[in-house]
Amino acid sequence: MEKLREAFQKKMNHGNEPHTFFAPGRVNLIGEHTDYNGGHVFPCALSVGTYALARKREDQKIRLYSLNFPETNVIEVDKQKLSYDDKQKWSNYPLGVTEIFKKAGHDIDSGFEIVFYGNIPNGAGLSSSASIEVLTAVILKKLFSISIDMMDIIKLSQRAENEFVGVNCGIMDQFSIAAGKKDHAILLNCDTLEYLQIPLKMDGLRLVIANTNKKRGLTDSKYNERRSECEEALKILKEELNIEALCDLTNDQYEEHKHLIKNPVIKKRAKHAVYENNRTIAAVELLNQGDMESFGLLMNESHRSLRDDYEVTGKELDALVEAAWRERAVGSRMTGAGFGGCTVSIVEEGQVDSFIKKVGNHYTSKTGLEAEFYSVEAGDGAKILKEGLL
Ligand code: GLA
């Protein structure tokens, strides 16, 4: 926080005391690639995330700086002329949210300046980008006294990612970052947007995230490919079934109608979406009953389905998960979009240190890469931490 303050003073010159904000990263416990198929997801916000100091300006300039990307220095643009800039990676997120706010008719009547600092690993599948988006939305709401609720913040942030950044993501990341609650995970029905904050009963257990540190090259194109494969499956099934989304199906209904899908690849993709959705609902029931062991087994099944049917894991994620299974994690799976990024495991508290050591060694010997581990807790959603002066 001190460094953030120092950077703000240095980079943004003089003015009123800024406001302080925070938005978490997220980890998805189960329910992967179901959000854009009208299914359920079960993510939690993390206690790590993105911090920001922000205030309005008297002119029409937007000035942005990130302590994580000092090489880009202060990015300064005119509020009236916002467009996606291929050369600037991170600033497209706050600028995208600003542009979408303007398009939605919200009155951003002056410029503003923000300094960011994030302690989520970037590009590791823990939603560092959605964290900046939701954070910016919360900042704009405060600075310009815009009367919008949490659901608007979520939808505007997702729109920024879809329309400005050009990534066709679902709603899970922005939702969990806005609606997170300490020591809870969120069961979200992505079709109706109804959600429940479910207590994470972790008695004697810890959540351990492991980063493959593999660069995720083709993520966006592969992600979009999976989305269109699911759309194709839905189109075929709709010829005989009265459904709106793949996740409207029970496993039995899928089995009964799967012969309609002739292409074996499309068939596998649909199977994952249907089974993963029903697995997620079952997993949350088990968690509510305090049966973490069975919850963990469903996490393992989720990984196998993502590996074999959805084919979004790859050798690095598989190596980490297999090592975690071998080290008797209660459950372990890839989390997020896949193709690199992170795994999430549930591990007995007393075993965390040796788990990290053994899984890390195994991973390095299999892949030549070093994994990074974080023992994390479920934290609160995006919020203002401290009021400055308006
Ligand atoms: C990314 C997307 C989410 C979701 C996951 C896969 O994180 O942003 O909307 O689709 O992948 O579950």
Query: For 8-31, what is the mean pLDDT?
Result: 92
Q: How confident is the model at residue 389 (pLDDT cuts 50, 70, 90)?
A: low
Active site residue: 35, 78, 86, 173, which one? 173
Q: How confident is the model at residue 218 (pLDDT cuts 50, 70, 90)?
A: low
Q: Is the pLDDT of residue 220 over 80?
A: no
Query: Which pLDDT score, from 0 to 100, does residue 381 have?
Result: 98
Query: For 252-274, what is the mean pLDDT?
Result: 98
**In the chain, domain spans:** 2-200+379-386
CA of 172 to the centre of ligand 1 (A): 6
Of 27, 33, 229, the one to substitute when testing ligand 1's pocket (max ligand atoms within 8 A of C-beta) is 33
Of 126, 159, 169, 280, the one to substitute when testing ligand 1's pocket (max ligand atoms within 8 A of C-beta) is 169
Q: How confident is the model at residue 217 (pLDDT cuts 50, 70, 90)?
A: low
pLDDT tens, residue by residue, 81-126: 899 998 888 999 999 999 999 999 999 999 999 999 999 988 788 9
Decide which of 3.30.230.10, 3.40.50.620, 3.40.50.720, 3.40.50.970 is the CATH code for 2-200+379-386: 3.30.230.10
Handedness of CA 293, 294, 297, 298 (dihedral sign): negative
* 173 catalytic residue (yes or no): yes
Query: Which pLDDT score, from 0 to 100, does residue 38 have?
Result: 98
- Lining ligand 1 with CB less than 6 A are 32-33, 35-36, 169-170, 172-173, 336-337
pLDDT tens, residue by residue, 153-169: 999 999 999 999 988 99
Q: Whose CA is nearest to atom 1 of ligand 1?
A: 337
CA of 185 to the centre of ligand 1 (A): 16
Query: For 314-319, what is the mean pLDDT?
Result: 97
CA of 149 to the centre of ligand 1 (A): 23
